[in-house]
Structure 1
């Protein structure tokens, strides 16, 4: 990956001015408030459009809302309500100004105030306080993992799969909404069942169906906290691919000029289970016609141009049904599991590859280095992939210190970070390891940057070769000394 001068300058400035002495990550995503907390009624939603995308195997929601300060004082805190169950499944919350892309600095934090309450909140802090009667258009996006359920739960291996999703036609809000509508997008127009809402006043019967889209509303003057439960059932003849755990290791070698990547997946298909035993013969016969299937048959992993030495293993060993294509334009690792992964089935596997360090590593000044790698890569599928738990480990050279990092992931996605030492082959003090943990990510965040800054002095880089050299010399000197010892028996 090539750095542009602008990106490098921004990263260096950010790392030098904002980050701490040892290791830094985005600010805490938890805010503790009193148990009696209730969001103050200081805003109203003048206009709101809620877009729900069910085109992939997870739910993506966008809330575009024009907020207005209805209090006499300036306000900078806007609250979003979620149920306790939603809080466990939500991820990737991002906020931006829909009308002015140059406005940045929206901070999103989860609010902790009463764990027993079914209503929890995320707090959005505006970049600048909104004056009385002032307006601002917010674009709020987030994802729900494990929110789609198959119906029926078990089907034949050649049957079609249908999923169910539940939501509210009224967008949940702690503030009154003057006008709103909800749009639901599907992967196909085969929408077998959906909740209907009767006409009321000027509001027509909902929803209106147009191809693969349902529209609920528009609704007028919806009070704060109002909900209207809706359930939709639709065809989804693709696997519901879910990665319960991803462990990604990035090993940096200055002497070898190489960066080694390895990713270990615990993958599930959360689609409909088989109602009968898997029939291998019928499966092989059907593949001649290449039908659509809700079983996972293959994975494609696009890598950075210049990647090499790719491999693919599972619990048994090396998997030969894979192909790696690499040229000047692309690098793709194509994988085929040992068996089709049907609903409820599990497939753990490991992939790895090497890359030239020059594509990711730059020297800033003196002994300082800047590493820019994707936070996650992995398979890229048309049906999407969800990642529940992600652990990224960056193994820096032995002696690296003053480690700092920054990522373009949403702040609320990062849950933990540590810097430790790990001893590997021929190490003395051990290699510096930066570990970052995140949760509830999706493939939309593929290739988001992870930028790591660290110091690596000449003395530290010479430590290992000098120790290896001195140990080798000591070994030969010791062997020479032992060879000079006379161990023969005397005849006197």
Structure 2
């Protein structure tokens, strides 16, 4: 297959407008910055060496790019661009960039560029190529080099082939990639490694060698390597399609609502999570057979169905509960000791490909394990996991997450910090029983998240004045006193009926 150099198509866009937004935003946004129609990333860099790693061991592809970039301009540069197709931008998540040689350094700032072609009328046609812009923490001097570690993943990118299978059949997935890593700059040397969950890869694209080099891929167990390749122009692609065995569910959570409620007076923190879960695995070609399913449980073969979900909770978690749309489910187990707290639940039915399963799960914990009071003043620091949820060997992807942290009534000056990419954040009032003005609620929204980000911290700081702490008991006291006063007043009324004397 001949390489397709499409640098012009990738890097030049006539009559294009660009919209910029911070964070991991993957849907078209309202334009905030209009750039010239001839916009294209300046060729200020070249990739001296690039290694592209694609990991297909889970139910979502994870990609890593380790690249040595060199400033070929005559002045220091601090902006590096990465191109993606519009389809990739719609499903990409968790794009992070760091200094490969200094893993402890902070993540680099990343911005998404959404490019559209202006049309007459109300509709706009989005360009097939979009960009992420990386801001280097310090401008790179001319002829200097820096090693970047870029990682990201795609949601809903793996498709079963065939799309329907029998209940006990093996499943095969298809993934399309490029033997050349997509880049906005010339690359002097590169290779692409693909890691599969097993050695069963019945179909894959073969790329002929050039200039005496062997054909690709080279196989080493469950790893395929395309390349290495010599100089490749900016924008060049070499389409590759692989089909491999993956007889596990493809768990996709389209909506997760996670509530964390803090109670200072009760010394308790309550967690509740509401899921809308779908299995994207191959659909059943025939009607589900309960008899066949029961017979398979004796030898437990690989299956595309979701059999159970395991929640590794924080040590000290208490009183878990689990319900689905019908009610309580008895097939759940909770084990807790000084070293672990595990909640294991089984859905009411095995969730096969194309089936949905909405449910909720919740638990309580001692607030002291998550909350710390700052020395001096009225400040508090709350440290909780942004995402917990099930931990499955095949992995779980989350399309939309809405996290609410409900603080005590009277909390103010709320600030937060997390390394999870967010698309929005807001504060509001959440009113519950016996509230006066309502509790302060911090709402954070994230999209395209995977369980690789489990247990990443969310740190919330807030002030909680002493008088605000007495608001709740004061309201309860006044309410009870009012009830007694009302009862006494009603009881002292003379409601007897007497004869009227002349």
- TM-score, normalised to structure 1's length? 0.92
Alignment partner of 1:427 is 2:435: yes
Written as runs of structure 1 = structure 2, the 5 A alignment for 1:309-328 is 309-328=319-338
C-alpha contact 2:249 2:303 (8 A) present in aligned 1: yes
Q: Retained in 2: the 8 A contact 1:33–1:111?
A: no
Q: Which residue of 2 aligns with 1:183?
A: 193
Q: Distance in 2 between matches of 1:101 and 1:280?
A: 50
Matched residue SS, 2:485: helix
Q: Could you say which residue in structure 1 is the equivalent of 2:396?
A: 385
- Return the offset for 1:29: 5.6
Contact conserved, 2:203 with 2:244, CA < 8 A, in 1? Answer: yes
CA contact (8 A) 2:22 2:110 kept: no
- Contact residue 279 and residue 356 of structure 2 kept, 8 A: yes
Secondary structure in 2 matching 1:320: coil
| Aligned counterparts of 1:200 and 1:454: Cα–Cα separation in 2 | 62
Identify the match of residue 108 of structure 2 among 106, 109, 122: 106
Offset from partner CA, 1:321-343 (integer Å, 9 cap, x none)? 00000001100000111111111
CA contact (8 A) 1:91 1:143 kept: yes
Cα distance per residue 1:178-232 (max 9 Å; x no partner): 0000000011000010000111104320011111011000010100000000000
Root mean square deviation of aligned Cα: 1.3
Distance 2:324 2:238 in 1: 46
User: 2: CA distance between counterparts of 1:263 and 1:202?
Assistant: 57
Residue 61 (structure 1) aligned with residue 63 (structure 2): yes
1:243 to 239, 246, 253: 253
Residue 286 (structure 1) shift: 1.1
Provide the aligned length of Structure 1 versus Structure 2.
Answer: 464
Higher relative contact order, structure no. (Cα contacts within 8 Å, ≥ 6 residues apart): 1
Distance in 2 separating the partners of 1:247 and 1:102: 32
CA–CA distance in 2 between the matches of 1:143 and 1:47? Answer: 22
Map 1:292-307 → 2, pairs under 5 A: 292-307=302-317
Q: Are positions 1:405 and 2:428 aligned together?
A: no
| Cα deviations by residue, 1:49-78 (Å, 9 ceiling, x for unpaired) | 000000000000000000000110100000
Query: Secondary structure at the residue paired with 1:222?
Result: coil
* Alpha-carbon distance between aligned partners in 2 of 1:86 and 1:105, rounded to the nearest angstrom: 22
The partner residue of 2:370 within 360, 372, 376 is 360
Q: How does 1:29-108 map to 2 (within 5 A)?
A: 32-34=33-35, 35-108=37-110
Q: 2:473 aligns with which of 435, 445, 465?
A: 465
Give distance in 2, aligned partners of 1:475 and 1:294: 59
Matched, 1:414 2:418: no
Partner of 1:147: 157
Shift in Å, 1:471: 1.6
Question: What's the CA shift for 1:33?
Answer: 4.5
TM-score normalised by the chain length of structure 2: 0.91
1:221 paired residue number: 231
| C-alpha distance in structure 2 between counterparts of 1:289 and 1:134, whole Å | 59
Instruction: Say whether the 8 Å CA contact 2:97–2:107 is kept in structure 1.
Output: no
Task: Indicate the residue corresponding to 2:6 in structure 1.
Answer: none
User: Whole-Å Cα distance in 2 between the matches of residues 251 and 103 of structure 1?
Assistant: 33
Measure, in 1, the Cα distance between the counterparts of 2:34 and 2:111.
12
Secondary structure of residue in 2 paired with 1:40: coil
Over residues 273-307 of structure 1, what are the superposed CA-to-partner deviations in whole Å (9 max), with x where a residue is unaligned? 00000011011011111111111101111000000
After superposition, the Cα gap between the structure-2 partners of 1:267 and 1:261, relative to the gap in structure 1 and judged at 3 Å, is same
- Following superposition, the deviation at residue 101 of structure 1 comes to 2.7
Give 1:352 shift: 0.5
- Cα distance in 2 for residues equivalent to 1:229 and 1:243: 30
**Any gaps of 5 or more consecutive residues in structure 1?**
1-25
List gaps (5 residues or longer) in structure 2. Answer: 1-20, 26-31, 118-125
Match of 1:20 in 2: none
Q: Tell me the CA shift for residue 318 of structure 1.
A: 0.5
Q: Classify the secondary structure of the residue corresponding to 2:254.
A: strand
Query: 1:439 — aligned with what?
Result: 447
- Assess if the C-alpha contact under 8 Å between 1:84 and 1:118 holds in 2: yes
> Which residue of structure 2 lines up, in the alignment, with residue 376 of structure 1?
387
Q: Note the C-alpha offset of 1:46.
A: 0.3
Aligned to 1:486: 494
Whether 1:346 aligns to 2:356 is yes
Equivalent position of 2:218 in the other structure:
208
> Counterparts of 1:390 and 1:447 in 2: how far apart (Å)?
14
SS in 1 for 2:189: strand
SS at match of 2:116: coil
1:284 corresponds to 2:294: yes
